[in-house]
Structure 1
Amino acid sequence: MLVLRALPALAALLVGLPAAAAPEAAAVFPIELAEPGTIGPRPLRPEDMRRLGLASDALRREVTSRGLAPVDLAPQAAAIRRDAPLYKCEGCAEKIAKAAGAVLVVYGYVQRNAPQVLNLTISITEAESGKVLRGGQVLIQGDTDDTWLHGVRSLVKNRLFAEPLPNRS
């Protein structure tokens, strides 16, 4: 009986609560490999291709766990191939992201400086303006699955999402 009397009060409280904000749509592009000193496109080594896939999957999971909703980029595959590498195409990632319905753009690359020394760089930009909201770089020492994954998690945690994204808290 007490429960029945409490229901109207509980309903009144729930109506006054603000609705949870929907996650923002983000185009999370695969991480690319940059190898300074190579001229022209070079086929990826199988271990690099696999590690880029692992790192890209980890980035997608990390971004999703922090409240962004990755959009499906499959319909944009031809544009992504055409404009790659996205980290140096100056605005094409944002155009592709807008076409996919994203508000934010997440992309990055691994730069091999030496056989066991790599830099991972990731940026988050606004699809509409291209404005960089966050970016960061981390040094990866050791060319293993674990070091690549640790680099992604560390960069996301300590640089990209250490604080709420500007104007999105």
Structure 2
Amino acid sequence: MRSAFAFAVSLLVVSAAAGRAEPPKLAVFDLEMIDTSLQGEVSGPRSDEQARLLRAGDQVRKELANSGKFRVLDIAPVNAAAHGSNLQACGGCDVKLAGELGADLVMTGVVQKVSNLILNINLYLRDVHSGQLLAAASADMRGNTDESWSRATDYLVRNRLLAPNYGVPQAR
């Protein structure tokens, strides 16, 4: 998956450089939660976790925009529709919504909660034009705190999506 991601992003960056001298346009949707914990089954969604989902999405958008490798688009025009869908299982509605924004790439993410001790963040990058999955990145978290979520999110962006050894061309 890593080489496919590197190749696809390289093509987008090269074509952007040749054609319009701007990075690929990326729509990053808010993260979603899959809670299979006993607590989640009994109590339902927690407000602190819902707030963390929003903050994690904002963090991904900010870090990727600051990298200069992507032009991160405002998702506000389609955000209500995105929140009304299960972006991981909607048959490509993430690609459709990102296309409405004029994006080249779309990123979705999910936090899987097994318990308050065991959680995992997964990010998925797709090509809007083909719908093809270009990359998936995952990080485990130990502890359900603001700090653990922020650190895991930062790790994914810095050490997977933007790392030179991950194959994404570095800004020159």
Q: Fold match, TM over 0.5? A: yes
Letter of the structure 1 residue corresponding to residue 66 of structure 2: S
Alpha carbons of 1:95 and 1:78: their partners in 2 closer, same or farther (altered >3 Å)?
same
Normalised TM-score (structure 2)? 0.76
**Number of aligned residues:** 149
Equivalent pairs: percent with the same residue? 32
Letter of the structure 2 residue corresponding to residue 53 of structure 1: L
Question: Which residue of structure 2 aligns with residue 33 of structure 1?
Answer: 33
The answer as to 2:48 corresponding to 1:69 is no
Normalised TM-score (structure 1)? 0.77
Distance in 2, Cα, partners of 1:143 & 1:156: 19
Distance in 1, Cα, partners of 2:25 & 2:132: 16
Larger radius of gyration: 1
- After TM superposition, what 4+ stretches of structure 1 lie above 6 angstroms from structure 2? 37-40
The answer to whether the Cα contact below 8 Å between 2:96 and 2:128 also exists between their aligned partners in 1 is yes
The alpha carbon displacement at 1:21 in A equals 2.6
Alpha carbons of 1:85 and 1:102: their partners in 2 closer, same or farther (altered >3 Å)?
same
Letter of the structure 2 residue corresponding to residue 137 of structure 1: S
Structure 1, residues 13-33: CA drift from partner, whole Å, max 9, x if none? xxxxx9993121111100111
Alignment gaps of 5+ in structure 1: 1-17
Distance in 1, Cα, partners of 2:53 & 2:65: 18
Question: Which residue of structure 2 aligns with residue 126 of structure 1?
Answer: 127
Alignment gaps of 5+ in structure 2: 1-17
Distance in 1, Cα, partners of 2:24 & 2:167: 13
